[in-house]
Amino acid sequence: MKNVGPIDKAVRLSIAAVLIILYALGVIKGALGIIALVIAFVLIVTSLTGFCFLYRVLGISTLRKK
């Protein structure tokens, strides 16, 4: 069941892009850089699938009901 709305998807992709760019430019390095890349990956996957497990656990949905 999808629970991530279109604005939420755009925000997630934007944050992921910023994290990836910061890592590529060397602003974020080492273990923190790896953590940032993992977070970026999760944000991209949740945006593309439209499902966020944490939202499900917390009972949150940013998807408008039809």
pLDDT in tens, 6-22: 999 999 999 999 999 99
Note if the pTM is more than 0.75. Answer: yes
Residue 56 tokens, joined: 């499900």
Measured distance CA(64)–CA(45) in Å, rounded: 20
Low-confidence ranges of the chain (pLDDT < 50): none
Q: So where are the chain's domains?
A: 6-58
Measured distance CA(29)–CA(56) in Å, rounded: 32
